[in-house]
């Protein structure tokens, strides 16, 4: 039995659908059973902020998909670190044999925001005695549909990476990689850097969006300092704003331009191009 956390998120919804299509035995961890009915699968109630609820939620579970959203820091602490460590402790107590964790590209000791938080969780999982596999995706293609990617008030796509290319990946492909690891025997003790098939600049993304929407989508550059100032003006903590600005400088230097073969290696097919992603999400794109 597989337990899927983050089942209603961008990756989890794809993983649930893949398991349903393949007839895989699984259940989803949810905080609110009523809100999870749309998933159409077996659910178990538990909360990462209530460690006592996690061990019974994992009863009968052999493999765990660990994927909890990265909330903004609270008083300098990443809640995700505490939450995922609690899930790892519960998995060990419940006799889970293997954990497939979604991390982030570039995770490392002392990294800013999610990069440092995920590295700390990775190390905790490695030391837990559980079997593990790490998935480290970069930027999500879904960000351009959900609105996570920034746009100006007049609809221009914001380029905070100074024209540098980014190897965005479709969450459908991340889920497919997770499914391969959760239902197979390979990949134990391995870390996979997940990317799409090509790195695209903001200008190229704008062109793809223009073609998909049938109207021109322009782009506008925003420097890291301007990004930080805008976030502080919105009332976000100065440290958080400065950390995001520094991460944008790293991407601008090419830190997310490389592509890998990990998706193909795990799924035996090529990852989706941005154009293929847009075609598969045409309705959501136009609704947004």
**What total number of domains does the chain contain?**
1
Q: Is the pLDDT of residue 265 over 80?
A: yes
Q: Give me the mean pLDDT over the 18-37 stretch.
A: 87
Query: CA 131 → CA 125, 135, 259, 285, distances in Å?
Result: 9, 14, 27, 38
> Which CATH number belongs to the domain containing residue 267 in this structure?
3.40.50.720
pLDDT of res. 73: 62
The CA angle 226-119-149, to the nearest 5 degrees, is: 35
Give the Cα separation of 87 and 122 in Å (integer).
13
**119 C-beta neighbours (distance < 10 Å), count:** 19
Q: Is the pLDDT of residue 75 over 70?
A: no
Q: Is the pLDDT of residue 74 over 70?
A: no
Highest mean pLDDT: which range of 2-11, 141-150, 228-237: 2-11
pLDDT of res. 160: 87
Q: Mean pLDDT lowest for which of 17-26, 71-80, 270-279?
A: 71-80
Q: What percent of the chain lies above the pLDDT cut of 90?
A: 56
Q: Is the pTM of this model over 0.85?
A: yes
pLDDT tens digits along 162-219: 899 999 999 999 999 999 999 998 999 999 999 999 999 999 999 999 998 888 988 8
Q: Give me the mean pLDDT over the 213-228 stretch.
A: 86
The DSSP secondary-structure symbol of 270 reads P
Report CA 39 to chain centroid distance, whole Å.
Answer: 19
Backbone angles phi, psi at 56, to 5 degrees: -65, -30
Query: CA 246 → CA 161, 250, 253, distances in Å?
Result: 11, 6, 11
What is the domain range of residue 248? 2-287
Q: By the 8 A CB rule, do 97 and 130 touch?
A: yes
pLDDT of res. 62: 95
Q: Which residue has the higher pLDDT, 5 or 227?
A: 5
Q: Which residue has the higher pLDDT, 27 or 239?
A: 27
Q: Can you give the length of the chain in residues?
A: 288
Q: Is the pLDDT of residue 71 over 80?
A: no
Whole-number average pLDDT of the chain:
90
């Amino acid at each position: 039995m597989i337990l899927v956390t983050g089942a209603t998120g961008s990756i989890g919804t794809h993983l649930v659908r893949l398991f349903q299509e393949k007839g895989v035995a699984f259940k989803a961890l949810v905080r609110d059973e009523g809100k999870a009915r749309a998933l159409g699968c077996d659910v178990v109630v538990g909360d990462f902020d209530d460690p006592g609820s996690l061990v019974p939620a994992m009863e009968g579970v052999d493999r765990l998909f660990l994927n909890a959203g990265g909330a903004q820091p609270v008083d300098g602490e990443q809640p995700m670190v505490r939450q995922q460590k609690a899930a790892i402790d519960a998995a060990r107590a419940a006799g889970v044999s293997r954990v497939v964790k979604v991390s982030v590209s570039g995770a490392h000791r002392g990294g800013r925001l999610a990069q440092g938080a995920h590295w700390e969780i990775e190390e905790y999982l490695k030391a837990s005695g559980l079997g593990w596999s790490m998935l480290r995706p970069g930027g999500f293609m879904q960000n351009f549909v959900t609105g996570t990617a920034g746009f100006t008030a007049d609809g221009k796509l914001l380029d905070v990476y100074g024209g540098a290319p980014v190897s965005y990946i479709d969450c459908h492909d991340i889920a497919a990689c997770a499914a391969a690891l959760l239902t197979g025997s390979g990949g134990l003790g391995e870390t996979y850097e997940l990317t799409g098939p090509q790195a695209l600049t903001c200008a190229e993304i704008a062109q793809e969006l223009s073609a998909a929407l049938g109207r021109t989508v322009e782009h506008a550059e925003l420097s890291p300092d301007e990004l930080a100032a805008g976030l502080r003006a919105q009332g976000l903590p100065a440290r958080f704003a400065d950390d995001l600005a520094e991460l944008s400088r790293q991407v601008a230097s090419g830190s997310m331009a490389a592509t890998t073969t990990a998706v193909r290696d795990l799924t035996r097919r090529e990852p989706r191009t941005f154009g293929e992603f847009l075609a598969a999400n045409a309705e959501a794109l136009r609704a947004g």
